[in-house]
Amino acid sequence: MIKAKPENPATIEAILGLGDPNDRRGFFRKRWPWLLVAAIIVAVAVFLFIKARQPKPVQYQTEAVKRGDLVVTVSATGTLAPVKEVQVGIEVSGTIKSVLVDYNDRVKVGQVLAVLDTTRLEAQAQQSASALASARAKVKQAEATLQEAQVKMARLDEVRVLSGGKVPSSYDLDTAKATLARAKADLASAKAVVEQAAGAWNVNRTDITKAVVHSPINGVVLERSVEPGQTLASQFQAPVLFKLAEDLTKMELQVDVDEADVGVVHEGQTATFTVDAYPERTFPATITKVRYGPQTVDGVVTYKTVLTVDNSSLSLRPGMTATALVTVNKKDQVLLLGNAVLRFAPPEIETAEKKSAGLLGAMLPRPPRTDKKNKGDEPAGKSQQVWKLGAQGLEPITITKGLSDGIFTEIVSGDVTEGTALVTGIVVEK
């Protein structure tokens, strides 16, 4: 039996690379590269952490003050309408016999638009004429009766004179007087009946003439609401048959101006407006009337404002919705700044007191913050502070504002000139 020769322990340790565990110099000599890498990593991490804690320099957006024209406008919406529009109706009832015009037809004063069937009206007129003739005949009959009563009364008076008052008797004389009075009353009543019959006859004749509808103006037919054979009843309200516009080359735009803007809108001011039918075109207009009567819709108070429009090209049509811009003020070549400058406020700087507050300050309740006003919405004539970039950072400048069109604001006074760069905001890195 062969026995294995034991290996030298020193040889095994050399193969495994263990070496002498008590040899410290060898331990650090073999591991110093890894320790160096770990130290470098820690140094880089500390550097990045310190750099991240350092505040980054703030970059600002600026806008230069410029000189230009400022036009202040007021916006309002409304609809187009003819200057003069007439609704044509009819006063008599009946059936439409014929309609002689249609939509968009041009008509003249007195032109026949529609005709009503007059069969019933003519029959009523004939009946009235017969009643008038009968009344006139009764007048003649009453006149004859009156003449007879007068002759009888004259004869009795003559007999009384000749008899020395003995005859006729008082009874006969009173009867004759009553008969004469009755004859006069019958004649007056007959004449009244004649006038009544004549009035009815005139009404029937007038109804016949009104059965023919004529145009009251020179214009264009906008609406037609009747057809042949249609029955009309006008006992309580005259039905509208046609709607006519006198002259479509002259129209008016009726817009609703908000109560906040009506104070600067006046007669004679010019405006421009657009309609959906021609989105690329603008049309001129002039204000002719600002009505005092208010209109309230959903709690919003507006005032009707009328503008005249030249429609010689007939491009515009009644009922179109228009958006108008009324020029209420205009200034030429004034200093202007963008309203973004007025809205800018510098960021708050963290003070030492805030830093020292620490956790205790975060836990304690704070007083309520007051919201800052939107400085860009302050009225004209107010002083305001704006900011520019100087050698030491932001520098405040006090200016006095003038008019504003919502995008630019006039600078009335202040230490700024054309080309001065004013801060509008902070550049946000993405």
pLDDT tens digits, residue range 4-23?
A: 455 455 554 555 454 555 55
Q: Same domain, yes or no, for 342 and 211?
A: no
What is the span of the domain harbouring residue 404? 60-69+336-350+372-426
Q: Same domain, yes or no, for 101 and 223?
A: yes
Give yes or no for a contact between 225 and 240, defined as CB atoms under 8 angstroms apart: yes
- Four-CA torsion 119, 124, 128, 129, nearest 10 degrees: 10
Is residue 176 one of the residues assigned to a domain?
Answer: yes
Is residue 141 one of the residues assigned to a domain?
Answer: yes
Q: Same domain, yes or no, for 90 and 79?
A: no
- Indicate whether 284 pLDDT > 80: yes
Q: How far apart are CA 76 and CA 80, in angstroms?
A: 13
Average pLDDT over residues 297-307: 94
- Indicate whether 55 pLDDT > 80: no
Q: Same domain, yes or no, for 65 and 127?
A: no
Q: Same domain, yes or no, for 305 and 280?
A: yes
Q: Same domain, yes or no, for 180 and 262?
A: no
Is residue 361 one of the residues assigned to a domain?
Answer: no
Q: Token pair of 374, please? A: 């939107």
- Indicate whether 37 pLDDT > 80: no
Neighbouring residues of 380: CB distance < 8 A, sequence distance ≥ 6: 401, 402, 403, 404, 410
Q: Token pair of 33, please? A: 């590269």
Q: Same domain, yes or no, for 250 and 385?
A: no
Q: Is the pTM of this model over 0.75?
A: no
Q: Same domain, yes or no, for 193 and 99?
A: yes
CATH code, domain with 411: 2.40.420.20
Average pLDDT over residues 300-307: 96
At 346-361, the pLDDT tens digits run 876 443 344 444 434 4
**Final residue in a domain of this structure, among 170, 204, 232:** 232
What integer pLDDT is reported at residue 4 of this predicted model? 46
What integer pLDDT is reported at residue 320 of this predicted model? 95
Q: How far apart are CA 323 and CA 74, in angstroms?
A: 10
Q: Same domain, yes or no, for 108 and 213?
A: yes
Q: How many domains does the structure of the chain reveal? A: 4
Percent share of the chain, pLDDT over 70: 82
